[in-house]
Structure 1
């Protein structure tokens, strides 16, 4: 373990010790809601709120993060058990306890969006800007069956800013409101602008809610862009890290007598986004999302329902970094198109069986259709056909993946501090795809072999959750749980078919440069997890708190890869290298680790304000059972410690924070994927925010010392190698160097 990681462990473990002298004090009160109007109560989230392993990222947590990033996945940076692996600037992919990407259940406001791209350039969290998020709920272990199926990892449940309604005039607790549109119509909102020095990033976002007692109309919009960033330790440009993104969303809602009906429409346009660890770049992502939802409270309990439709039209090719300084066009480079649709419904009833019992039953349908085709590029020279001539390459033809899930869940309070949660779930998965073709006759044998086989597959998946909780007193809580979770293969894992080196390199969302193809014989992954979580605090839970959670997972039929050969590649200056040809394959795997998190109020002073410290540490180890090889994308021991000060200043509130982020060296790598090792690192960040009435000013510096370091899950720097700037294709992608950022937010 590195010195930095050791310091992190010591810092988190000593949090309660640092707080002993302050037992009579209390953490400063925090107003967690920026909205000034009430909204109907939602009684359907009791399990999550009681789950020790659930982490909630609120609007208060999002506020200091938004100036730093437009990548919503980065809002999970401080969440125990969660790591991120590198992709585009707004497309980072989550890893929960060593299980990455689609192994986790990610839902955006009731819509289970699927990454519609062979490189997963458009993962679910990329479809919403941080400014439009109301709350993110993360469950890492002991995931209730009502919180997601067809996954073996955790659940990430994103709630967009909810519709808010005006408090009836004269009601108890009602306050004066901003009402420029006449009596009975009120409004709230905010406008924010930000800059980031590294890459020249700029952005703007806005939020507005107009409401009466029963109706609400809400809009959220955001635009941001940045050039390529520079690495630390000098001024080296990290190619293919530029992007531009626009997001809009509008919600119309009606509420009355405990019933809420809402319709949300969201639109995204990303004209370009570079990917330093992929052979391709995003050169267009157009998405439309429609979500009609209902929530109602009744004497017997609560009922929720929503119907959704999501359409993604996606285009990949080469940006200038990978194409000799000129952006490719649909007529050259390697154009690749995807049309992906997600649609279905969710039904959930929470039934009060008595003062101590709750029953939840639900039914969910998620249907996906996906088409991916690569148009021919034409001739190589005047007479010679190129590798991408002369027919359209059909990678996925009418791919279908339909999931029908049904669950039942019972929560019981037994008294004497004991409670339990048990649940069962079945997900029926039906998959199919049509016939394919290659660019030319050189692909004919592969296509014919694929087309000759039956493509229809049916998987019957079963999940179970059993959790026992014990709260002996006001200072401790314990939770022990077992879960069985199942995930069927994805369309890309099952139906990609070409073993041609060039075509196979276009498949894969791992950032490793290797070539991948599918396997029609794949079985679903089945994860059996046991987890124990303990939490200790002062009686008020306001002075100090520490939480420790070890876990162990055994995955049957984990979808890993088998080695099938090598692929020769060449860069812009003629240098050659080798990557591997890999086929998706089932192999059992084991993972274990722990999460440690804590916080404490360490001092309250009249002259210098309040001081608090918080920290989080994560460790995970994973390997294949058959050969003991390390699994891919396993984060080494890592963590973060933050010292924060809050003080009343100049009529407002000033908050400053000094943060140490560190990770040990990554030495356990998956050899067959040619995963690079990375050295240990420690990075110091500083941030400050000042709030005065309806204004907020943010200023901060990331990587103050401009340290050169590498994200252990960042993949290899394909962009640099293709440009001839690096002779080693398998060098890791350098992380961002010093970055000064700032933002101004006005609320009304």
Structure 2
């Protein structure tokens, strides 16, 4: 029996699932969205929700993407060990918003090598919040594909007792001689706190289930974070600064590897608590990324003439403000958002000082947005209604290249781009409405509808030379931009129920999303671009165009107690995406998946012991994009086992040992959302999908004080 059929049959039979070993779910009583939270609050009284610790002691992936990948509707599209892109219900890349401590990261790499997940550095109270289904307008700008907030809430830190707290973690992983060290310390007084955190990660090449070396799966990163806060009366102030440096790290699915990424972000926040349920909050934030990548230092290049290095940078600043006040048995929220970003990119050949391509020059994007949202709660129902207006302005400087003098096609592309009108405004209106009807003490009926928009990003408009720039889609084709792109408009319907029976909860969701002016690649009709791409790569390039698309599917969750010490959690997800202009599938859509976790809590000589067995079934994906030459993938099943032993624990400290065996039976497989290898002379052939890791072990020691 195929895993595709097995995964579907099991998910239908037990309507599986909740979360990975270290996640929990909350149904917000004040709205219709379901919020999935990963992490551990420093003060469990701040939010009434079950929380479980997810720290550096539990991750297999360097960017902690594995701690999100088992959530309902979520998978990770991975191009390298630190280059994971969150995919939610068939949409990924810029369509899924990710903020780190309230900072909307502007990446420097046009292929998302420095994806938002790569900016995560664990610290006390760090949580990840994913809105399931319809995303409220208050969650952020351009949330067409979902929104993920990763942050440590200042309110939790202010609520801590006085004194010094902290933790130190050391982890070893193999094969690949992986090492990870993480620590943090926080000092709290009656009115203030100050904290610091650091992280170091490194690993050599990993191995697949057939003992092949996974090409360019190495990485090395170092980072630190500093935070402080002060409150007096009704006023609260907090500030954060983080620096994360990625050194040589592989991205086998892309044409280049990471030479370095020097990423810094900062945030200043202020909150005025006017009353118990009324407050005003404002934050100023920004980030700066310096990024170098090349195709010769970590992989073979055919000749010195083909060596290329791309130096890119990005800066961004933003302002986010909101006012919240009670209104008619509910809550009114008003907000405003400003954001400015700028990107540059220059491609050179270190063996030829005359070679250069001014890839992106002074590309600007300015966003201004306002919203209003009303949440109402009664005994019979809870509802949230909101609208957001956003204006986005984009512009870019002139293109240039040394090839203008020797290649008429390149000269035409440069001339046409520089003569074109590159400045454009986009005006969009987002609307979201959700309601939760309390049919009984054990049954809630959930219904939501929304219209969300996304303006094209800078590489979709301003890539003037056909290059393999696809925002991490990594299909191997060259792309050229389109200055005439319209914004995407997605209309979405979400429905489901939450049912509780004794100590079991069951939450299926069904969704349908119609996306007007969906931006994707279509064969280019630009004669000059086609000539250049054929000369460089032997293929006709794609040009970003507006089409239409439909994505539909379901995800289901259930969890409960099998006995006093034995619990079960699982999650099942399925999605199906198609273009409307032609009969073709959307590219790189995750297949159906069922993940089940059985957890046993016991004691060994009075020491708490937690054992987990995780089954991960993934279906075959045969619904693939013929236009983008996407290959089908087979289904597979994986098993993972983990143990958590607390050697000693008291009110002030504890010592925990964590041991994990991932892919217990050393299964050879390749995830459909993995990239295609582009590294020559490797154990994996060029053009084959990058395989997943075989059997791996992870041993961690964590001390909290």
Q: TM-score, normalised by structure 1?
A: 0.85
Cα distance in 2 for residues equivalent to 1:74 and 1:491: 29
Cα distance in 2 for residues equivalent to 1:724 and 1:73: 25
The match for 1:463 is: 430
Among residues 327, 330, 333, which one is paired with 1:360 in the alignment? 333
> Deviation string for 1:151-197 (max 9, x for gaps)?
311110111364765879xxxxx7xxxxxxxxxx6100000000111
The match for 1:431 is: 394
> Deviation string for 1:222-263 (max 9, x for gaps)?
11011111111x211111111101121110101233432101
The match for 1:180 is: none
Question: Against the structure 1 CA distance between its residues 509 and 67, is the aligned structure 2 distance closer, same or farther, given a 3 Å change threshold?
Answer: closer
> Mean alpha-carbon deviation: is it higher for 97-106 or for 53-62?
53-62
3-state SS in 1 of match to 2:439: strand
Cα distance in 1 for residues equivalent to 2:311 and 2:497: 48
Unmatched runs of 5 consecutive residues or more in structure 1: 19-29, 33-44, 169-173, 175-184, 380-388, 571-576, 605-609
Among residues 535, 538, 546, which one is paired with 2:506 in the alignment? 546
The match for 1:106 is: 98
> Deviation string for 1:62-84 (max 9, x for gaps)?
14863423313322122101111
Correspondence 1:121-132 to 2 at 5 A:
121-130=113-122
1:738 has 2:701 as partner: no
The match for 2:375 is: 411
1:342 deviation in Å?
1.3
3-state SS in 2 of match to 1:102: helix
Question: Against the structure 1 CA distance between its residues 15 and 629, is the aligned structure 2 distance closer, same or farther, given a 3 Å change threshold?
Answer: closer
1:568 deviation in Å?
6.3
> Mean alpha-carbon deviation: is it higher for 665-674 or for 588-597?
665-674
Question: Against the structure 1 CA distance between its residues 533 and 507, is the aligned structure 2 distance closer, same or farther, given a 3 Å change threshold?
Answer: closer
1:133 deviation in Å?
6.2
Among residues 203, 212, 215, which one is paired with 1:226 in the alignment? 203
Question: Against the structure 1 CA distance between its residues 717 and 350, is the aligned structure 2 distance closer, same or farther, given a 3 Å change threshold?
Answer: same
Question: Against the structure 1 CA distance between its residues 163 and 245, is the aligned structure 2 distance closer, same or farther, given a 3 Å change threshold?
Answer: farther
**For the Cα contact (< 8 Å) 1:5–1:663, is it kept in 2?**
no
Correspondence 1:529-568 to 2 at 5 A:
529-538=492-501, 543-564=503-524
Aligned length: 673
3-state SS in 2 of match to 1:619: strand
1:307 has 2:307 as partner: no
Cα distance in 2 for residues equivalent to 1:163 and 1:537: 31
> Deviation string for 1:568-621 (max 9, x for gaps)?
699xxxxxx8655111111010010000111110012xxxxx001110010000
1:626 deviation in Å?
1.4
1:666 deviation in Å?
1.1
Cα distance in 1 for residues equivalent to 2:195 and 2:280: 23
**For the Cα contact (< 8 Å) 1:367–1:403, is it kept in 2?**
yes
**For the Cα contact (< 8 Å) 2:31–2:435, is it kept in 1?**
no
1:266 has 2:242 as partner: yes
3-state SS in 1 of match to 2:111: coil
> Mean alpha-carbon deviation: is it higher for 78-87 or for 521-530?
78-87
1:668 deviation in Å?
1.0
Cα distance in 2 for residues equivalent to 1:669 and 1:292: 45
Cα distance in 1 for residues equivalent to 2:166 and 2:427: 47
**For the Cα contact (< 8 Å) 1:205–1:221, is it kept in 2?**
yes
The match for 2:626 is: 671
3-state SS in 2 of match to 1:447: helix
The match for 1:40 is: none
**For the Cα contact (< 8 Å) 1:8–1:615, is it kept in 2?**
no
Cα distance in 2 for residues equivalent to 1:472 and 1:410: 22
**For the Cα contact (< 8 Å) 1:67–1:194, is it kept in 2?**
no
1:487 deviation in Å?
0.4
**For the Cα contact (< 8 Å) 1:72–1:130, is it kept in 2?**
no
Question: Against the structure 1 CA distance between its residues 358 and 119, is the aligned structure 2 distance closer, same or farther, given a 3 Å change threshold?
Answer: same
The match for 1:522 is: 485
Correspondence 1:282-431 to 2 at 5 A:
282-299=258-275, 301-318=278-295, 320-323=297-300, 333-354=307-328, 356-379=329-352, 390-413=354-377, 415-431=378-394
Correspondence 1:208-247 to 2 at 5 A:
208-232=185-209, 234-247=210-223
**For the Cα contact (< 8 Å) 1:706–1:737, is it kept in 2?**
yes
3-state SS in 2 of match to 1:54: strand
1:14 has 2:6 as partner: no
Unmatched runs of 5 consecutive residues or more in structure 2: 41-51, 525-529
